[in-house]
Amino acid sequence: MIRKFTFGSPLSTDAVTVSTPVCTDSFPYFSLTKTSSFLYHMDDKTRIYGLGEAVRGINKRGWIYESFASDDCDHSENKRSLYGAHNFLIIDSEKDLFGVFFDYPARLTFDIGYTLSNQLLITPLDANLDIYFIESEDINDIVTQFRQLIGQSYIAPKWALGYGQSRWGYKNADDIRTVVRRHREEHLPLDSVYLDIDYMEKYKDFTVDENRFPDFSSFVEEMKQENIHLVPIIDAGIKIEKGYSIYEEGVHKNYFCKNEDGTDFTAAVWPGHVCFPDFLNPAARRWFGQKYNILLTQGIDGFWNDMNEPAIFYTPERLAATLQELGDYCGKNLGVNEFFELRDKIKDLSNSDVDYRSFYHNADGNILCHDKVHNLYGYNMTRSAFEAFEELLPEKRILIFSRSSYVGMHRYGGIWTGDNMSVWGHILLTVKMLPSLNMCGFLYIGADLGGFGENTTEDLLLRFLALGIFTPLMRNHSALGTREQEIYQFEKTDAFRRLLSIRYGLLPYLYSEYVKASLKGKMLFRPMRFVYPEDSRAAGIEDQLMLSDELMITPVYEQNAEGRYVYLPEKMRMIRMRSLTDYDTVLLSAGDHYIDIPLDTVVFFLRPNCIIPLSAGGENITEVSGISLKLLGYVTDTACYVYYDDNGYEKDYNNPAHYNTIRVDPTGNILVTGERTLDLTIASI
Ligand code: MIG
């Protein structure tokens, strides 16, 4: 059951797609404090799930989080905000079980047992918001009801589940050719290469630097011949430059965010001075979205949207004022405190609340100060792209994912988790974000594998990839100036190749589960608690995940570890894979086990009476058969799997021809229903 409550006059966010009448019941679970906070009393065992992209645990209890989309490349535990705002929680205790969504686009604070350990205190900037309560006895059903409320998740094209290589710093077409050649030479599967800001001419959106990438369409075509999709980045800010048509049109049509006096707001990001498209203005949104066609018509079929919190390095006005102030320090014998003050003045120029309070949107004639709608910016940038794709290429899926997001954006694109670091803790952080993001509707997700900032090591990349083979977005990405981390830079090429073979073997299963999860409002990655509600040990486990209905995954996230402890809530079949064809399987009883997981090995566990389809692999998605499959399972009675597959780019998801039901009994008899003829053999049951 879903109940909606409204306070004041909320701004519309379009997060919710099902119109819900306002409920007149008394406000449940929470009390309203004098300071307009919502207060809930947790008992000692209450667990709090949700918040999507955030630091710390799957259980969010014990910290204070802020929904305020921030460009911060330090994802350490003491941070309160990352790039997204996902205001959905599930409160799970013996007395209560419910979900709650705070549909509110400005800064929102979640004090989850931080100030007082038993107090959940949620504080909006002002008291204009919609709150939805979702109740069910089944925690999974709470998620499904929420997902029905906010609409179906974006579905990426199938090729976007292949392996992708990215790096900030590829300078020209030859750099990209080298990446592709090295993968192909070494038989390392690859489906996409990402273009970071250097492909543009002076960081101008929708331009391509002709010196670095001469004859871009032919280059895109050349890559297509290699079965490589090029995925360019698009930044939020539009360079202020006379003669740059997008800038000039934006000025002319009043499509940029404004200062209070109605002039165009100016900030500085990569291109230098920029204007920000007003994505909250439907006409501006449509205008910007159509610009993606400049690249679509050159053969591009995927994009990533960056810097859309929006990130601001500085505004010229405040920079000038600060420089003036700094003059006062000149010639003085500075004490330490003054020195720190001086240093902070420079630091505070970036991503400052003062700037976020100083510009305005025009949402359907409604003039809104940015800080009231801050969390909607990246969301609407991605929406602008998606809506344009629907209009321009209605038959085709285009890859799009974003750095900043809000609940609702999950209908228009995926996300990557931003600028993580090449540190071991960030494997575990990724594990914890995956189910939290799924709850909030984000299914096409992934982290920068190997780590973005700082220098990676071979073992870290191997372990990161061993988790990444399960995430829909599987991309190796790193920052300018860090150690090069393409797979072929390292010695253990064979180990990497075998790891990728497992991903490509799992693809039919992963794709099937990914699409079904989107269509049915389910989670791909589930906390143990969601699958084993009666098992109190399982509820506390945060370094293992359930993957759909069939698997449990147990990533290794510590350096030099040769294995790890794993908790099995029930008897399962362990699959230990050195490659797609080289693996052993062991039945393990419920309970604790120490499992050897060497650096070149992936371990996962099959639940009883479950089967998964495996392909014979391939070096890119076009080589991966969705027809000729081997079944891997643990069958004691009878296992039944609903297999989804399609051509990978059309949108007729509900066509019954895409579904087969595969039944297997313990003797290995296979019974298939469905229009499509599959060629199935048993790998191991
Ligand atoms: O200020 O485009 O998160 O993935 O490589 C840095 C350069 C801007 C931040 C993105 C990152 C990307 C980088 N960008």
Ligand 1 atom, smallest distance to 166 CA: 5
pLDDT at 213: 98
Q: Which atom of ligand 1 is nearest to the CA of 452?
A: 4
pLDDT-derived band at 387, boundaries 50, 70, 90: very high
pLDDT tier, 231 (very low <50, low <70, confident <90, very high otherwise): very high
pLDDT tens sequence across 170-193: 999 999 999 999 999 999 999 999
What's the CA-to-centroid distance between 589 and ligand 1, angstroms? Answer: 46
**Is 500:201 a contact under the CB 8 Å cutoff?**
no
Residue pLDDT, tens place only, 15-43: 999 999 999 999 999 999 998 999 999 99
What separation in Å is there between the alpha carbon of 451 and the centre of ligand 1? 13
Residue 344 — pLDDT band, cuts 50, 70, 90? very high
pLDDT tier at 63 (50, 70, 90 boundaries)?
very high
Tokens 């065992």 correspond to what residue?
45
pLDDT for 508 equals 98
Residue 326: CB atoms within 10 A of its CB come to 12
- The reply to whether ligand 1 has any atom less than 6 angstroms from the CB of 309 is no
Predicted confidence at residue 245, as pLDDT, reads: 98
| 227 φψ region: left (φ > 0), alpha (ψ -120 to 50), beta (else) | left
Q: Is the minimum distance from the CB of 306 to ligand 1 under 6 angstroms?
A: yes
Ligand 1 atom with the smallest distance to the CA of 304 is 4
Q: Assign 230 a pLDDT band (cuts: 50, 70, 90).
A: very high
pLDDT at 600: 97
Q: Residues of 501-528 as b/e, b for ≥16 C-beta within 10 angstroms?
A: bbbbbbbbbbbbbbbbbbeebbbbbbbb
Band of residue 6 on the pLDDT scale cut at 50, 70, 90: very high
Mutate to test the pocket of ligand 1, among 419, 454, 480 (most ligand atoms within 8 A of CB): 419
Q: Whose CA is closest to atom 12 on ligand 1?
A: 168
Task: Tell whether pTM > 0.95.
Answer: yes
634 with 604: CB under 8 angstroms? no
User: Predicted confidence band at 148 (pLDDT cuts at 50, 70, 90)?
Assistant: very high
CA distance 235 to 157: 22
CA 306, chain centre distance (Å): 13
Q: Which atom of ligand 1 is nearest to the CA of 306?
A: 10
pLDDT of residue 630: 98
| Mutation test residue for ligand 1: of 306, 351, 416, 452, the one with most atoms within 8 Å of CB | 306
Instruction: Compute the distance from residue 269 Cα to the ligand 1 centre, in Å.
Output: 11
